[in-house]
Structure 1
């Protein structure tokens, strides 16, 4: 019986470590500062976080669809499976961001920096990337804005 209780407690702790922490969501909403935060799986769709600092954060599976993210710092953030569909992330900083499997369909990335970002399995169909700096980006099974598949980094 004790072993089962310990196993159940371990599974609960493991599961909660992967999900967002409400204190970080509250901080981001109040101050637009969430450096080193865990916002994984948080639903922040449609919100305005213009100028926010979410750098070096864990944003895996975050839903930022239709959000206003103008000038947001995502530098060195882990954004695997993030949903930024239709978001305005213009002039944002995504240098060294891990965007594996991210949904960037129809996102506005104009003027953004994605230097050395990982876009493996990401979908940028219909995304706007005018004047975006995309040097050293890792493309592997990446759907580009024009719908073509880019495997140049596989």
Structure 2
């Protein structure tokens, strides 16, 4: 009987009735991280108030543009008087105007205030931040007695598109 069991086991094993297979499975996981288009203009908020000196001294405002895509930039004044020119206007009498010069410099290219949008700008590769300087000043010192007293204002908007 013992030899019959051995013989049966040998026959079963050699006939393939009991087969052992090695197996493996795998799965591949692809990870994706999408960085959306992002741009920010300065870190000063959306409204900055500056006083234009009457002595002809320039008043400057630094503006940072941080983008991860190409962008255009433009600056325009409410009381425009040509490229890089504008007027502060008396709040009580809009016919009373004082001309002043305004420029937007720095960054990869100069931008004409009131001159439309710049060409497309590729952001700075190392920091992704481009710094511009908006500078305003009267062409020469103002003799205060020559102008009607009051508050004279203008607004310049700097805008990026991307």
Question: With structure 1 as the length reference, what TM-score do the two structures score?
Answer: 0.24
Question: With structure 2 as the length reference, what TM-score do the two structures score?
Answer: 0.23
* Bigger Rg over Cα: 2
More helix by percentage? 1
More strand by percentage? 2
